[in-house]
Structure 1
Amino acid sequence: MKKIYLFIIIIMVSILAACSQQSSGSNDQEKQSEEVESQTTNQASAKDTDEKKVNEINLTAKEVKWTLSPDKTITAWTYNGTVPGEQIRVKEGELVRVNLTNELDKPVTIHWHGVPVPNTEDGIPGVTQDAIVPGKTYTYEFVANTPGTYWYHSHQNGVEQIDKGLYGTFIVEPKKGVNVDRDYTLVLDEWESGNEGHGMDMEGMDMGDMDNMANHSESEGSSMMGHDMSSYDIFTINGKTYKENKPLIVKKGDKVKLRFVNAGYMVHKIHIPVDYKVTHVDGQKVNNPEIQKGSVLEVAPGERYDIKFIADGSGDFTIDCHGEMDAAKDMKIDVVYKEGNGKKIEHSQPSTKVDLTTLGEDAEAQFTLEDEFDVEYTMDLGTKMDMSNEDMGMAWTINGETYPNVPPLKIDKGDKVKVTLTNNSMDESTHPMHLHGHFFQVLSKNGQPLEGSPIIKDTLNVKPGETYEVAFIADNPGNWLFHCHDLHHASSGMVMLVKYNNFEEFYTDTGKVDNKPQ
């Protein structure tokens, strides 16, 4: 039956090869009108589907009551009724087919954050598809070729929809499997308990309030102007504060893997008070990682870090957040031995933090600073005043412009591309920059080449005054976003397109949906 089903899919794809992105791929206006009614797509090629295991997942975007803490229940937007949404876990090389039904009253999408999917499956309203209108179902389909820790989230008005809980995790296991005894995913996020919307209320604010905003530390993603980050007064792991979370259970001798995913808009300093190794960044391997002796791990918005430790039986312990805001105290979770004696490791003040530039050991890499690149691009991350902007007149810019007025980075397939990112924002905010559809290698920080393992990422946190050089190969044709994953910054302008020359366009905005790519 499976082969017959796959054969039918192959025939359908062949017949529909000339149609539009949501129904069959053509730019015919009549067909596009039909797209909005059907809200479906099927993009995997016949050769991709042949003889592959098919993972078919049904997700429903819906509203539920969700308990964050013992004294706070909110109305959350979810995939399948939980925050985070249902975890999708597949093996390398398998086909993923996700049917998303929208039961919310607003259009939604799914973006597969970090996964190098075909451009048709990237989930960007107004760029790769129309957002999925209420009551409709849309199908995403791709082959999961790259193992790693990823996540998925709505990219339709993401600054609000992710804030409401519309995200989940996506794990691609290597073909040989994951060589651990325990495998836990920990999603970091922050919430506004007293704000159903996400704008800023200026009424009643005095200078003390303004000073308070200006004095928040960079670890909590603050800005002197713009969205009031102090309104995020509940921090969670897996959608729950400490008192609502169940402990992570281990046994003595277990090899334990923890996957940290930051789904929020602030950098979180996570303290793991045992010896551990950082094995992966953004799902990609670190070469021969060294032991971190209780070091603090900074996880920026959109980033993922995998760590591994051996449960040596020395005692239960707590993983917590070392932040300055009061809410940080609730971003913690216990690790408890199944057959332990209840002894707890003392939680001492950490003296070191994980340094991306010296992580692991040197090894041969795809790029070096001495390479000749086909395209070199400088990206100045800045700010400017724009009184038409909702965030108190503050706009975040790329080379002085805001999206969609930022000129695109144009490249050819096969190009070796180097991008220099510098954070010159006058509000001293951090910018976790995320490139869709590609991984990039981090070459240097502040002019100094990396000393450790080659670091391959899709999201890189650029702090005030910092400059990074990164490089990637143009191997995935399409129209791709490159943007800040503090989505307050993205929705206020810090977005650009990476456009392949001679790319055959498959999508035209129908004008029937209010597409909001950020």
Structure 2
Amino acid sequence: MKLKFLSIFSIVTLFLAACSSAGSMGGMDHSKMGSTQEKETKTENTDNKTLPQTIESKTLTGKNINLVAEEANHQLNEKVNVAAWTFNRSVPGSQIRVKEGEKVNINLKNELPDPVTIHWHGIPLPNNMDGIPGVTQNAVQPGKSFTYKFTASVPGTYMYHTHQDGVNQLDKGLYGSFIVEPKTPTYDRDYSLMLDEWMSNPEEMEGMDMSGTEDMEGMDHSNMSGMEDNSNSKKDEKESTENDDSMAGHDMSNYDIFTINGKSGKEIKPLKVKEGEKVRIRLANIGYMSHKIHLHGHDFKVVAIDGQELNEPKTIKDQLISIAPGERYDIEFTADNPGKWYLECHGEMKGTDGMKTVIEYEGSKESNDQPNQSENLPVFNYTSYGKQTKGEFTSNQKFDVEYTMDLNTAMNGNEMVYTINDKVFPDTDNIEVDKGDLVKVKLVNNSKSDDHPMHLHGHFFQVLSKNGKPVEGSPILKDTVNLKPGDEYVVAFKADNPGNWLFHCHDLHHASAGMVNMVKYKGFEPDFKVDSDAGNKPE
């Protein structure tokens, strides 16, 4: 059963003015973290009687961590329960919190009926630990286990999620947050909020395919790790370029429940603070829609983006933080305005109203604050924020590799596909590099109505310019950049982590319908043998 469904890329206008949500971990204070009790989640609907109930998300620390992929009945709001796929029987899965420089061994046991993997979104690690089926490992079969080993070397806000048939599996709840704490924290209280979207009636879509085109669904991905650069492929010859005004994008209206940490509406717990504390809120978008988040009643700073700290961030107020799929934004504020204040998503989508929580001061019982999700507020712009300082790269320096990525929408017969330079994965042209190369990539979104949040595995890149205008404030290091229709970004990175690394749209509906390519290091050979019977599906 598919818990969330994209209506086979319906040719209708996509309204992207989405919002964010809050959930069961929303009330968890990580600054005073102890052992969290596992409380059974209340449910009203018993449609999934044979499944166990989800529990509240736990926080796992230490060198050795166990994650079990298993199915459970999960309550999204007062009315809707779904059969979720979970890590450790919670949505989100257990939060992993480790210290900067800590070596971790994370054992995945698969108790689901389908193969799975775990991708460590944004975390620098060896290629063979990246969790991409058919590219860095074989998918972990039902009843089997796999241990991921790496050093958490860069502090920041990250995520982990399945990368096996991700458009379907992640959509069922198979994800969690991963926090690498700095050696010297700058905050007193720390909350992590994962934003997502769900469907209220997934049963209506049962049996329908979310994964894009029929061609992609039946494609053999078993030889991905040894894939050659098919620059002369004729696949693109049967694809028509986007030239029909009626092809406005895909329909996301079936996603009508927006959640924070797996909960929506009244099920979301308040975020409790004490006057005088410095509070950090980590906002991570694991869904497929952008969400604009508004903090009421407080000045705040955006202190990190995609886990990377900004240089001397300035104080702002009543600006919307637009968080695209795959992105993370850390904000900090001083709790100096006692009462109860909303943290909410702005927009007009059906699920928007359910994506809000409350900043609640200890001892405060009442508040005059009101939601204002329809108010038109300025949107935060990171390209001119913080204090300018010298970054690693500049636009006019010499680069060893330069690559242009034309992102577009096309029709392949009756199916909508998403292309890179007029080709769909696995026939897209790889970015071939040598270790040590300095690489510049220009990304251009030529789709008429679809955003494309492009995520690079295994590397951070520096954003050099947006729409021809250089970044003016703090240097911006990211692993995911969101391109709205017509946008052009130039980014740069150093090829310092050998392997085969995906570079793909993190709206996984787009990725599964073709919008994927790879950064491939010349001479690199994977350390595993592809199993053609593993059912590897890296999209």
Q: 1:76 to 1:237 in 2, by over 3 A?
A: same
SS at 1:104's partner residue? Answer: coil
- The answer on whether the counterparts of 2:167 and 2:210 sit within 8 Å (CA) in structure 1 is no
1:232 is the counterpart of 2:239: no
- Correspondence list, 1:421-432, <5 A: 421-426=443-448, 428-432=449-453
1:105 aligned partner: 113
SS at 2:253's partner residue? Answer: helix
How far did residue 238 of structure 1 move? Answer: 0.5
SS at 1:511's partner residue? Answer: coil
- Correspondence list, 1:125-140, <5 A: 125-140=133-148
* Count of matched residue positions in the alignment of Structure 1 and Structure 2: 439
Which runs of no fewer than 5 residues in structure 1 stay unpaired? Answer: 1-52, 202-222
Write the distance in 2 (CA, Å) between the matches of 1:70 and 1:242.
8
Write the distance in 1 (CA, Å) between the matches of 2:168 and 2:365.
45
How far did residue 346 of structure 1 move? Answer: 4.7
Q: 1:230 to 1:347 in 2, by over 3 A?
A: closer
How far did residue 224 of structure 1 move? Answer: 5.2
How far did residue 272 of structure 1 move? Answer: 1.0
1:353 is the counterpart of 2:379: yes
- Which of 431, 443, 460 is the aligned partner of 1:409? 431
Write the distance in 2 (CA, Å) between the matches of 1:337 and 1:510.
55
1:171 is the counterpart of 2:179: yes
Q: Which amino acid aligns with 1:286?
A: L
1:263 aligned partner: 286
Give CA deviations for 1:277-323 in whole Å, capped at 9, x if unaligned.
00000000111111111110000000000000011134211111112
How far did residue 245 of structure 1 move? Answer: 1.1
1:364 is the counterpart of 2:386: no
Identity of aligned residues (%): 56
Q: Which amino acid aligns with 1:353?
A: V
Q: 1:146 to 1:322 in 2, by over 3 A?
A: same
SS at 1:291's partner residue? Answer: coil
Q: Which amino acid aligns with 1:329?
A: D
1:511 aligned partner: 532
1:180 is the counterpart of 2:193: no
1:220 aligned partner: none
- Which of 493, 507, 511 is the aligned partner of 1:486? 507
Q: Which amino acid aligns with 1:337?
A: Y
1:244 aligned partner: 267
- Of structures 1 and 2, the one scoring higher in RCO (CA 8 A, sep 6+) is 2
Give CA deviations for 1:151-172 in whole Å, capped at 9, x if unaligned.
0000000001110000000000
Write the distance in 2 (CA, Å) between the matches of 1:159 and 1:260.
21
Relative to the length of structure 2, the TM-score reads: 0.79
- Correspondence list, 1:160-309, <5 A: 160-176=168-184, 178-196=185-203, 197=206, 199=209, 227-273=250-296, 274-309=298-333
SS at 1:230's partner residue? Answer: coil
Write the distance in 2 (CA, Å) between the matches of 1:474 and 1:447.
24
Give CA deviations for 1:169-188 in whole Å, capped at 9, x if unaligned.
00001122x22121000110
How far did residue 386 of structure 1 move? Answer: 1.4
Q: Which amino acid aligns with 2:509?
A: H
How far did residue 507 of structure 1 move? Answer: 2.6
- The answer on whether the counterparts of 1:66 and 1:75 sit within 8 Å (CA) in structure 2 is yes
- The answer on whether the counterparts of 2:429 and 2:517 sit within 8 Å (CA) in structure 1 is yes
- The answer on whether the counterparts of 1:276 and 1:294 sit within 8 Å (CA) in structure 2 is no
Relative to the length of structure 1, the TM-score reads: 0.83
Moved over 4 A (4+): 223-227
Write the distance in 1 (CA, Å) between the matches of 2:337 and 2:292.
25
SS at 2:167's partner residue? Answer: helix
How far did residue 199 of structure 1 move? Answer: 3.6
Write the distance in 2 (CA, Å) between the matches of 1:339 and 1:89.
29
Q: 1:341 to 1:64 in 2, by over 3 A?
A: closer
Write the distance in 2 (CA, Å) between the matches of 1:353 and 1:157.
33
1:14 aligned partner: none
2:228 aligned partner: none
Structure with bigger helix share is 1
Q: 1:226 to 1:106 in 2, by over 3 A?
A: farther
Write the distance in 2 (CA, Å) between the matches of 1:510 and 1:351.
52
Q: 1:62 to 1:517 in 2, by over 3 A?
A: same
Q: Which amino acid aligns with 2:301?
A: K
SS at 2:94's partner residue? Answer: strand
